Every structure is written in C-alpha cells, then in structure tokens.
Amino acid sequence: MNAAMTILCLGVIGVFFSIQVFSLIAQFLKDNKKQQIFSEWPKVSVLLAARNEEHTILRCLKALEGVDYPSEKFEVLIGNDASSDKTADIVNSFIKGKSNYKQIEIKNPLGKALGKANVLAHLAHAAQGEFYFITDCDVAVSRGWVKSLLKCFTPTVGLASGTTKCEPGNWAATLQSIDWLHFMGYIKSFANIGVSCTSVGNNMAVRATAYWQTGGYENIDFSITEDYKLFKEVTSKGWGWRNILNPESLGMATYVSSLTEIMHQRKRWLMGARELPWNWKTLILIYGAFIPALMGIAWYFPRMALGIWVLKFSVQSFFIFHLNKKTKTPGYPFYFYFAYEVYLLIMTVMTAIFHVLPVKSVWKGRTYGKKALAE
C-alpha cells in the first residue's frame, strides 16, 4: 500500500471514529427543550396504512387500544390499501362496536400521492384530530406513546418522532433489534445538537396545521421515503421538529424474516437516502467505506487493524448498551454484540451489492423504481 492510500484509509477511519465518539457523547447531553403542558388533551387521529397485514395488524390494533389517552379524544383510521389477504376482515372484526375506529377503503390515487403516501393522504382528509399520529401495522406502540409525543409540541414545533426497534426473539429478530436501535441512536445523537435528519415514519406525529400547510401528501412530490419528504416539507415552512428516545415513545416492530425482503427494504431506504442532505450522505458514505479502509490497513498492518477494530467494537457496544438503558428495554447477552459485528459486516456488503444490481425494490407486492411506483 502506498503512502497516499494509507493516508486515505486512515483518514476514513479517523472520521469514522470521530462520528462514533461524538454520537456517544451527544447521548449524554441533557435535553433542556421545553415541554408543552395541555390544560385539556387535544383530539388526535392515528393514521394507519394497511396492505396485506394479516399477520401483524391485530397486534398493532391491540397496542393502540391500550394507549393511555381519553377515548373521546382518540380516533384510529385504518386505510385498507387493496389488501388481497384477510386484513380487512381482521380489522372489521376488531373495530366492531368501537365508534372511534374506522376502516377506509383506498381505491384511487390522490394527486401526486402513491403507495403509503396515498393512503395517508386519504386518511388525513378524514381525520378530525389536531395532531396526526402515524405508525405501521407491524409496530406495537407503547402505552404512553401519544402523551409522550404530544409533550414535544410547543407552539413552534410541527413534527415529532419517537424511536422504533424490532422486538427481540430468535437470533434474526434480536440482531435486527440491535441494528434498528443502533442507527436510530445516531438520529437522536445528531438531533441532540440540532442537526436534522428525518422523522421516523413508523413512529411520528405531525401537527395538522403544519401538515396542511404543505398541501398534504397529494401535493408533495412522490418519494419512496415518504416520512423524510413530509419532514422536509414541514420544516421548510418554518416549523420546528423534535426527536425523542424514551420508554414511553418506543415502538416495537416485528422483524423481517426473509433475507430477500431485508435486501429490498434496505434498497428502498438507500433509494430514499438520495434526497438526504449532504451531511447525512457523507455519514452513510463514511460508514460504508470503513470496512474497505480497515481491510486495506489490515493487509499491511494487521496489528494496527486489530487495535482499530477492538476500539470500534468497544465504542459501538457501549453506545448500544446505553441506548438500551435509555429505553429501559432488556439488554442483550454479551455474545450478541460479537454476533452483531459479523451481522453488520455481512449486511453492509450485501446491501452495497444489492443496491447496485439492476433490480427494482419490491415491497408489499409493489415495485419501486427511481421515480415512481407501479402496481
């Protein structure tokens, strides 16, 4: 390895560690942001896009039923997006006799909206709440979800999001749980110093006034990552945003059991990442370049590379451990931190390869291209 290449590899590794250490330190910063105190709880609308969700939607609805909030101020709108399974029947059975729950059949596109954005566009028109809460059918929200996010909405805040992780279980589920928590931790770290990224599309709330100032999803250019698009549009109108990480706002998602689905999911995320600001694109690039840089150093300086890896593993593991403490979720056995390191390496390489393959992203029976979505 020539001197220039060595310097480049060490430069990438240096920036990588700077981000890691900064993110860890940022987690310990006190959140001094004011909380909104409501003399009377406002009416809220939960918007739930459902497409072929027969295996997960009942868990989601039961969690929503257990949310600590006055029922007369709490409505749940489920948009059935042309499901071909038993989703609609399961929902109808669950909401029978519940006046604050309603299922709406989504049949036509509304303006520019497609896919999940189209469902949310329709539901927003039916919603009566002052705040729209959005989650996914594979997520079980916490009992304190609504009140926790509402406290973020001081007068200048238009959008707030919590944190979601996969529910631990078997090896695959637990590794995905660590992965989700790890990278959502970075979002929170940067949010702690006021650097915006995105809202979390399966755990977010938006002020109705702020939402309609954007013209709604039907007037927002389509994006595969509709959560980031809404975040960008709302903040461009001058509204503030909040990101919180605590047990009350935590959502627990079911894990993706199919490797093919994971690859398509990650490809969809990377396609959406093209719209991220340069600082986040740089961060993603640095994280992707770390392994090649470390391998380059290891070829000529194996002891140095081993020391770098041990340091990286230690900082990363403590970061994840701290996030578990903040969310008050059960920790992971120590060997899972080593397993996660292998998982992260394999998934990074596979995701990079799959992303450049001439294969469109397929998600829930729909194909996502660069600019549009087709049935």
Q: What would the pLDDT profile of 212-267 be if each residue is shown by its tens digit?
A: 999 999 999 888 788 888 999 999 999 999 999 999 999 999 988 888 888 888 88
10 Å CB burial of residue 18 (0-12, 13-18, 19+) is exposed
CA-CA distance, 223 to 365, in Å (whole number)?
Answer: 17
**pLDDT at residue 375 greater than cutoff 60:** no
Catalogue all structural domains in the chain, each as residue range(s) with its CATH number.
3-28+273-357 (no CATH), 44-163+200-257 (3.90.550.10)
CA-CA distance, 33 to 167, in Å (whole number)?
Answer: 29
**pLDDT at residue 12 greater than cutoff 50:** yes
Order of strands across the sheet that contains 251-253: 139-141, 251-253, 164-166
Side chain identity at residue 337, one-letter code: Y
Pick the closest to residue 186 from 254, 245, 141 (CA basis).
245
**pLDDT at residue 370 greater than cutoff 70:** no
* Residue 281 CB partners (closer than 8 Å, separation 6+): 273
CA-CA distance, 46 to 146, in Å (whole number)?
Answer: 9
Kindly report the pTM of this predicted structure: 0.91
Distances (CA, A) of 200 to 67, 184, 252, 324: 19, 9, 13, 18
Pick the closest to residue 230 from 37, 41, 47, 42 (CA basis).
47
Q: Is the separation of the CB atoms in 265 and 138 below 8 Å? A: no
SS (H, E, C) 58-105: HHHHHHHHCCCCCHHHEEEEEEECCCCCCHHHHHHHHHCCCCCEEEEE
Provide the 10 A C-beta neighbour count for residue 247: 14
Q: What would the pLDDT profile of 310-358 be if each residue is shown by its tens digit?
A: 999 999 999 999 999 999 988 888 999 999 999 998 988 888 888 778 7
Mean pLDDT of 110-121: 93
Angle (CA) 308 311 316, round 5°: 125
Cα-trace Rg, the chain = 21
Strands 366-368 and 373-374, sheet pairing: antiparallel
Partners of 242 in the beta sheet?
A: 160
Q: What is the mean pLDDT of the chain?
A: 90
CA-CA distance, 304 to 41, in Å (whole number)?
Answer: 57
Q: Is the separation of the CB atoms in 270 and 161 below 8 Å? A: no
Pick the closest to residue 142 from 327, 375, 6 (CA basis).
327
Q: What would the pLDDT profile of 50-64 be if each residue is shown by its tens digit?
A: 999 999 999 999 999
Angle (CA) 185 141 165, round 5°: 30
